[in-house]
C-alpha cells in the first residue's frame, strides 16, 4: 500500500461485502475508487475487464481525502467485494426508439419516475440480462464490446427486415440489425434474441424470415424467444394493435415447432430447438406446455419461456421429498389469470399429501392495466385489495415476489405490503420464484414483519422474477 495522487473523481463505494478483499484492505463506504492498474475506470465494463487480472493495483481516495495505492494478488475470478453507488459506474443509456409496442408508453400518468425510464444499455444486458436493440451503439461501441468479449448479450431483434424494423422501432437507424449481429457473432460474442410479436406486423412470413436469418448466426446466436405483445388499456393516441386469438396462437406454435424439429436434427446448434414460444402462446392456443426436455435448459426463462414448466417441476420435486403429516394450514394464494389454473393444480397436489393444508388460489383480474394483461408481476396493490376484500383468506396470503419493487415492499401503484395486510386483515407472505420456495411458504407460517424483496424489473432495477427492456415486460 502506497501514498499516491490523482485528479480523477472516481466511483463512490456504497457497501462492503463481509469477508471480501475490500474488507481486508480496509475500504469503507464513502471511499472512491479512482483507477485500476493505472487506468481511469469509465464504467462497469472497464472495471470488470481490469478486475479479471490476478494482480491489480487499486488507486483509492478515502473519505478523509487521502489517496492510497493498494497492490492486490487474487484469483482470476475473485471479486473485490465492493458495491458502488452507481451500479454501472456511469449514466444509464436511455432508449432512442419509439417502439409501437412499448410498454412504458402504455403506462398511466402519475406513477413513480423510474417506471417511465426506458433503458437500452449493453452493460445491463451483460450484467442483468436485459434485452437491448443495439440502435444506440455505433461501430466504436460495438468494437469496445467485442474487445472486452463480455457474453452473453441479449438483443431485441423483433424483425430482421430493415425497413419494417425502422417502422416498428420508429427509428431510422434501426435497419442495420443483421450487420451488427453478424459483427458481434464474428467477434465470438454469444447472443440471445427476442421477438415481440405484433399481429399484422412481424408475424407470419416476416417471422419466418426473421428465424431463418438468425439461424444462420448459430452457434453464437444461442436462442430466440417469441413473445406476444402486451397491450394495456392506456393506449390512447398510440399505434392501434390487436391481441392474438386462439387460432393465431396455434399458427405461431406450428411455425416454431416446425423450426424446432428441423433444427434439433441438423446438429449445427448443439441439437437444441433454438427458437422458443413463451408460455402465453400455449395458454392462448389451449395447448399443454412442452416437456422440460424441450426447453433445452431454459435459455429464455426470463422471457417467460418455460417459467410455468420449471415452476411445476420444482414444486413436484420438492413435494415428493416431503412426508405428509396432519398439520393444519388455512391460507390463500393470489396470482394473475395466466398462472392461476396451474397454481390451483399444485395446491390440490399439496392437499392430497397434507390433507389438512388448504391453500385457496385467487385469480385477480388486472383492472389497472387492463384485462389483456394476465401476468402476476403487473398486478397492483389496489387490484388485490378490491378483489380480495371480503374473501376468506385464512391465516396468510401468499403473493409472488414479482409483484413488488426490488429492494422495497411496494407494488407498482405504490401500495405497500403493510397497507395490504392492514386492509385485508391477513398476514402476507412474499414467496420467491422457485417451486420449492412456494411449497415452503404454503406449509409454514409467515415471518411477521418480514417480507422478501420483489424482483420485477423496473427499467433501472431488475431481478430474476421478471424482465423488461424498452418498455417490454414479461412476467408470470
CA gap 107, 76 in Å, rounded: 44
Domain boundaries 311-443, corresponding CATH code: 3.40.50
Enumerate residues 6+ apart whose C-beta is below 8 A from 332: 359, 360, 361, 362, 388, 391, 392, 393, 394, 396, 397, 398, 426
Give the predicted TM-score (pTM) of the model: 0.79
Task: Give strand pairing partners of 172.
Answer: none
Strand order across the 357-363 sheet = 357-363, 329-335, 396-400, 427-431
pLDDT score of 447: 61
CA gap 174, 49 in Å, rounded: 29
pLDDT score of 405: 77
Q: CB-based burial of residue 53 (10 Å sphere; 0-12 exposed, 13-18 middle, 19+ buried)?
A: middle
pLDDT score of 473: 38
pLDDT score of 392: 96
Enumerate residues 6+ apart whose C-beta is below 8 A from 140: none
- Provide the sign of the torsion angle of the four alpha carbons 205, 211, 214, 215, taken in this order: negative
CA gap 40, 38 in Å, rounded: 7
pLDDT score of 407: 67
DSSP state, 156? E
Q: CB-based burial of residue 247 (10 Å sphere; 0-12 exposed, 13-18 middle, 19+ buried)?
A: exposed
List per-residue pLDDT tens for the chain, 476 residues long: 444 444 457 888 889 999 998 899 999 999 988 888 888 887 776 777 778 788 888 899 998 889 999 998 988 778 888 888 766 555 555 577 889 998 888 888 777 766 655 555 445 444 455 788 888 778 888 888 888 777 788 899 999 999 999 999 999 999 999 999 999 999 999 999 999 999 999 999 999 999 999 999 999 999 999 999 999 998 989 899 999 999 999 999 999 999 999 999 887 767 899 999 999 999 999 999 999 999 999 999 988 999 999 999 999 999 999 999 999 999 999 999 989 999 999 999 999 999 999 999 999 999 999 988 998 989 999 999 999 999 999 999 999 998 987 767 899 899 999 999 999 999 999 998 899 999 999 999 876 444 444 333 222 222 334 333 333 333 33
Same CATH topology for 104-301 and 311-443: the answer is no
Alpha helices in 267-412 (DSSP H): 279-285, 307-320, 340-353, 381-388
pLDDT score of 137: 79
pLDDT score of 440: 95
Please, what's the b/e burial string for 348-380 (b: 16 or more CB within 10 A of its CB; e: otherwise)?
A: eebeeebeebbbbbbbbebebbbeebbbbbbbb
pLDDT score of 333: 97
CATH T-level fold of 104-301: pyruvate-formate lyase- activating enzyme (3.80.30)
pLDDT score of 208: 98
DSSP state, 118? -
Conformational region of residue 238, where left means phi above 0, alpha means psi within -120 to 50, and beta covers everything else: beta
Q: What does residue 59 show for φ and ψ, rounded to 5 degrees?
A: -95, 120
Find out whether 220 and 270 touch, Cβ atoms under 8 Å.
no
**Residue spans per domain, the chain:** 2-84, 104-301, 311-443
- Provide the sign of the torsion angle of the four alpha carbons 50, 300, 342, 470, taken in this order: positive
CATH T-level fold of 2-84: Pdz3 Domain (2.30.42)
Give Cα separations from 330 to 390, 393, 395 (angstroms). 16, 8, 6
- Provide the sign of the torsion angle of the four alpha carbons 163, 169, 171, 173, taken in this order: negative
CA gap 213, 179 in Å, rounded: 11
| Three-state DSSP state, 278 | coil
pLDDT score of 452: 45
Find out whether 232 and 240 touch, Cβ atoms under 8 Å.
no
pLDDT score of 474: 35
- What the block records as the C-alpha cell of 58 is 487499486
pLDDT score of 90: 55
Biggest CA-to-CA distance, the chain = 71
Conformational region of residue 199, where left means phi above 0, alpha means psi within -120 to 50, and beta covers everything else: beta
Q: What does residue 232 show for φ and ψ, rounded to 5 degrees?
A: -95, 180
Q: What does residue 362 show for φ and ψ, rounded to 5 degrees?
A: -110, 125
Amino acid at each position: 500500500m502506497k501514498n499516491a495522487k490523482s485528479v480523477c473523481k472516481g466511483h463512490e463505494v456504497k457497501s462492503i461485502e463481509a469477508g471480501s478483499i475490500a474488507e481486508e484492505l480496509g475500504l469503507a463506504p464513502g471511499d472512491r475508487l479512482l483507477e485500476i492498474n493505472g487506468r481511469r475506470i469509465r464504467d462497469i465494463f472497464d472495471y470488470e475487464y481490469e478486475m479479471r487480472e490476478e494482480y491489480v493495483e487499486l488507486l483509492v481516495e478515502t473519505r478523509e481525502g487521502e489517496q492510497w495505492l493498494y497492490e492486490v494478488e487474487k484469483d482470476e475470478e475473485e471479486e473485490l467485494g465492493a458495491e458502488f453507488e452507481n451500479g454501472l459506474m456511469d449514466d444509464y443509456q436511455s432508449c432512442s426508439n419509439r417502439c409501437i409496442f412499448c410498454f412504458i408508453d402504455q403506462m398511466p400518468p402519475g406513477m413513480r419516475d423510474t417506471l417511465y425510464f426506458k433503458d437500452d444499455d449493453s452493460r445491463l444486458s451483460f450484467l442483468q440480462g436485459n434485452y437491448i436493440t443495439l440502435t444506440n451503439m455505433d461501430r466504436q461501441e460495438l468494437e469496445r464490446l467485442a474487445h472486452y468479449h463480455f457474453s452473453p448479450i441479449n438483443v431485441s431483434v423483433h424483425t430482421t427486415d430493415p425497413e419494417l424494423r425502422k417502422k416498428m422501432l420508429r427509428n431510422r437507424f434501426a435497419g442495420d440489425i443483421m450487420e451488427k449481429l453478424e459483427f458481434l457473432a464474428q467477434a465470438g460474442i454469444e447472443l440471445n434474441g427476442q421477438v415481440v410479436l405484433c399481429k399484422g406486423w412481424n408475424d407470419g412470413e416476416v417471422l419466418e424470415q426473421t428465424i431463418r436469418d438468425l439461424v444462420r448466426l448459430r452457434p453464437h446466436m444461442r436462442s430466440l424467444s417469441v413473445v406476444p405483445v402486451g397491450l394495456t388499456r392506456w393506449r390512447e393516441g398510440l399505434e392501434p394493435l390487436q391481441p392474438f386469438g386462439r387460432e393465431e396462437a396455434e399458427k405461431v406454435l406450428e411455425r416454431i415447432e416446425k423450426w424446432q424439429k428441423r433444427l434439433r436434427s441438423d446438429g449445427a446448434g448443439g441439437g437444441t430447438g433454438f427458437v422458443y414460444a413463451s408460455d402465453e402462446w400455449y395458454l392462448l392456443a389451449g395447448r399443454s406446455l412442452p416437456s422440460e426436455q424441450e426447453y433445452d435448459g431454459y435459455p429464455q426463462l426470463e422471457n417467460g419461456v418455460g417459467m410455468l414448466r420449471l415452476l411445476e417441476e420444482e414444486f413436484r420435486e420438492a413435494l415428493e421429498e416431503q412426508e405428509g403429516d396432519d398439520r393444519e394450514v388455512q391460507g390463500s394464494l393470489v396470482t394473475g389469470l395466466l398462472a392461476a389454473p396451474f397454481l390451483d393444480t399444485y395446491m390440490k397436489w399439496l392437499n392430497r399429501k397434507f390433507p389438512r393444508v388448504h391453500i385457496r388460489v385467487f385469480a385477480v383480474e388486472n383492472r389497472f392495466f387492463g384485462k389483456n394483461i394476465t401476468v402476476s408481476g403487473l398486478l397492483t396493490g389496489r387490484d388485490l385489495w378490491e378483489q380480495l376484500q371480503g374473501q376468506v383468506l385464512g391465516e396468510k396470503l401468499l403473493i409472488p415476489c414479482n409483484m413488488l419493487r426490488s429492494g422495497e415492499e411496494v407494488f407498482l401503484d405504490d401500495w405497500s405490503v403493510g397497507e395490504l395486510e392492514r386492509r385485508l386483515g391477513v398476514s402476507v407472505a412474499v414467496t420467491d420464484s422457485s417451486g420449492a420456495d412456494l411449497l415452503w411458504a404454503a406449509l409454514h407460517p409467515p415471518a411477521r414483519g418480514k417480507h422478501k424483496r420483489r424482483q420485477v424489473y423496473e427499467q433501472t432495477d431488475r431481478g430474476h422474477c421478471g424482465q423488461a427492456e424498452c418498455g417490454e415486460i414479461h412476467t408470470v
